[in-house]
Amino acid sequence: MRRRVAPRVLIAVREHRLTACVAASAALLIPVLAFPPSDSEEAADQHLQNDFTAAADEFHVPRSVLMGVSYLQSRWDSHPGAASVSGGYGPMHLVDAVPGRAAGPPAQPPDPGRAQPPAELRRAADLIGVPAKRLRTDTTANVRGGAALLAATQRQLGKPLSDNPTDWWDAVARFSGTSDTDEAATYANDVFGVISKGAHRITDAAQNVTLPADPKVRPHAPRPAEKRPKEVECPAELACSWLSAPYEQTGDAYGNHDLADRPWDEKIEYIVIHDTEASLKSMFQTVQDPTEASWNYSIRSGDGHVTQHIRTKDSAWHSGNQFVNAHSIGIEHEGFLTQPDAWYSEKMYRASARLVRYLAKKYGIPLDRQHIFGHDNVPAPTGSSIPDMHEDPGPYWDWRHYFDLLGAPLRATAGPDSAMVMVLPDYATYKPRYTGCKGSGVPCAPHGSSAVRLHTEPREDAPLIQDIGRRPNGEDSTEDVSDLGSRVSTGQTYAVADRSGDWTAIWYLGRKAWFNNPRKHPTAVGASGRMVTPKEGLSEIPVFGRALPEEEAYPDGFPEQTESPLPYSVLAGQRYVTQSSLTGTDVDRSSFVQTPNPVINGQEQYYEIQFGHRLAYVRANDVDVVTAPAAPAAAGAPGHATRSGRR
């Protein structure tokens, strides 16, 4: 969210056994995939796998423990020479929190609100007898350093260097780098959950890494949750705190959120994922300013700590669309969309997923991409506001991994020639061109991406799709990392408009939009579900950025919202995917009150649709529902679907 705002050293912890919630940890486990690495002894993509094996043997650490810790630290990614915001390097994320270090982002001044990890990289360098700077860039040395630290921790605990992974639970908890016993226990249980289920992925350095499943290894049993502020709404296994956002009058206005009684007065339909585009320290100042915006939760990058600011029953001002605010919970993640490797940490992803699972279960929110979406997917409430809508968390947020952690994996639900597709590129290997990460027009470094770019014709040199709402003066869409005009994102589903060889066309912003989708390396997979299409006899229908009540629903004297269609249309014959319907609502938010204002509930029904990169709404009376079955369609055709009237 762009706003106007201003190593682990071996630490002593209490000598008692750390435990955490097994059930919640199990929900975040990553399954082993059914494809092993190459058998070639000379394979270039096996270097990291061999590094884990050699370091485990050298320091007498179970390889599964070493690999499990590394997975939680970095998902085995290296980012050679580049540091995280915490100063962590390499696949073991060894922290070198020394001012003036040569590589990585600038060292930040001490922040009392931020966990300060000890500088473990230099301790690891001493243990293996190499210069500290080598552990920043040399993957082999980094892995050896991590193994040496684990072994040293085990000895410090007075425990043997056992071959049994279960004997290493306390050493793993200490490796987390936190003195918070609940956070350390959750970390250790996550590591042992990965070991139990196994994992496989291709890393950022194209390394093919597999951790075989060991079902005998189990996380620890749950322990009673620590006391926390009564306002906090958070799963027991997360470390959560409270920092209140003010609800107070400011001159003739008020801020920075609205009192409500959700879900009793308005249903909570969505959870919106943001990034801060600022440090968390400055965001905490913002959320306490009654003249600024607000959100329900913040999540810290370094350790995944959660801070709640507004009760979920109340409506935060976070999305740029008052209707969406009224029906959503906003979660800010500390980070910058142009610097995912520094900020989008595995600990933050996992903490966020735990929080979202908890909230989704509490409020009955479906775990799909029309209910769990980014700030960049929020529809503009009016046509004039489209250029001002936000673009976070951006194309580098790993939606596929995030939904794995949510326990709702994104996968094909129909054959490859279906009437609908779900966008699903392989994040690690799909690296489209972007510019603007380090200045306008400057190419970004190649990086895995969740987003797929769209063209006007089925060829790479065809013009990009134009968004007339975002660029009303007719400027071309660009490859800028923040330009959403010609992009679709992982997990989003669209109706197929056409196919040509390796190219697929979808209906997008009222027209056909083409993307490269080769069968050997698909960027989208078959999907089933429901779509809407204009009723027979209608040549086009309007599209809205909010679902308002009909005029007759407003009582006399109530400030009525003016209906404002967006500058797009759904034309006859086009189809758009829908995963929910809802009734128009509105609330008078013109004055400061001490109790929630009454909600105006209309009779007008709407369908929420995946219209472009953003969501949108259409009137149910304007459309018929079309069902795309799970069975594959005939090869070469857009797919068979069954049309019905409104339901």
- Answer yes or no: do 45 and 184 share one domain: yes
Which residues constitute the domain of residue 273?
Answer: 239-365
Q: Provide φ and ψ at 326, rounded to 5°.
A: -65, -20
DSSP calls for 60-97: T--HHHHHHHHHHHHTT---TT---TT-EETTTTEE--
- Answer yes or no: do 406 and 340 share one domain: no
The answer to the question of residue 106 being in a domain is yes
- Answer yes or no: do 206 and 287 share one domain: no
The answer to the question of residue 224 being in a domain is no
Residue showing tokens 């600011």: 309
> How confident is the model over 366-391, as a mean pLDDT?
97
Tell me the CA distances in angstroms from 14 to 121, 185, 189, 331, 422, one per residue in order.
Answer: 23, 12, 18, 33, 48
> How confident is the model over 439-467, as a mean pLDDT?
96
> Quick one: pLDDT at residue 17?
34
pLDDT(100) > 50: no
DSSP calls for 281-315: HHHHHHHT-TTS---SEEE-TTT--EEE-S-TTSE
Of residues 179 and 585, which shows the higher confidence score?
A: 585
Of 365, 391, 417, the residue that ends a domain is 365
pLDDT(109) > 50: no
> How confident is the model over 567-588, as a mean pLDDT?
96
243-261 pLDDT tens trace: 999 999 988 889 899 999 9
- Answer yes or no: do 494 and 564 share one domain: yes
- Answer yes or no: do 244 and 307 share one domain: yes
> Quick one: pLDDT at residue 99?
37
Q: Provide φ and ψ at 409, rounded to 5°.
A: -55, 140
pLDDT(106) > 60: no
The whole-angstrom separation of Cα 247 and Cα 230 is 18
- Per-residue confidence at 487, pLDDT binned at 50, 70, 90? very high
pLDDT(383) > 70: yes
Nearest Cα neighbor of 394 from 481, 295, 304, 524 is 481
The answer to the question of residue 380 being in a domain is no
- Answer yes or no: do 104 and 198 share one domain: yes
> How confident is the model over 290-297, as a mean pLDDT?
95
Of 318, 341, 365, the residue that ends a domain is 365
620-644 pLDDT tens trace: 999 999 998 875 544 444 556 766 6
> Quick one: pLDDT at residue 474?
84
Of 319, 346, 365, the residue that ends a domain is 365
The whole-angstrom separation of Cα 416 and Cα 362 is 35
pLDDT(78) > 50: yes
pLDDT(526) > 90: yes
- Answer yes or no: do 418 and 534 share one domain: yes
> Quick one: pLDDT at residue 180?
81
Count: domains in the chain: 3
Mean confidence (pLDDT) of the chain = 88
- Answer yes or no: do 612 and 467 share one domain: yes
> Quick one: pLDDT at residue 630?
77
pLDDT(187) > 60: yes
Contact 189, 220 (CB under 8 A): yes
- Answer yes or no: do 319 and 454 share one domain: no
The whole-angstrom separation of Cα 574 and Cα 361 is 34
- Per-residue confidence at 15, pLDDT binned at 50, 70, 90? very low
> Quick one: pLDDT at residue 43?
84
The interaxial angle of helices 346-363 and 63-74, nearest 10 deg, is 70
Residue 30, domain CATH: 1.10.530
Contact 353, 361 (CB under 8 A): no
Nearest Cα neighbor of 563 from 388, 316, 324, 383 is 383
Residue 311, domain CATH: 3.40.80.10
Amino acid at 247: Y
The answer to the question of residue 306 being in a domain is yes
The answer to the question of residue 229 being in a domain is no
The answer to the question of residue 489 being in a domain is yes
> Quick one: pLDDT at residue 391?
97
- Answer yes or no: do 180 and 269 share one domain: no
Q: Provide φ and ψ at 517, rounded to 5°.
A: -140, 65
Entry pTM: 0.89
- Answer yes or no: do 486 and 596 share one domain: yes
> How confident is the model over 257-280, as a mean pLDDT?
96
The answer to the question of residue 75 being in a domain is yes
- Answer yes or no: do 167 and 275 share one domain: no
The answer to the question of residue 466 being in a domain is yes
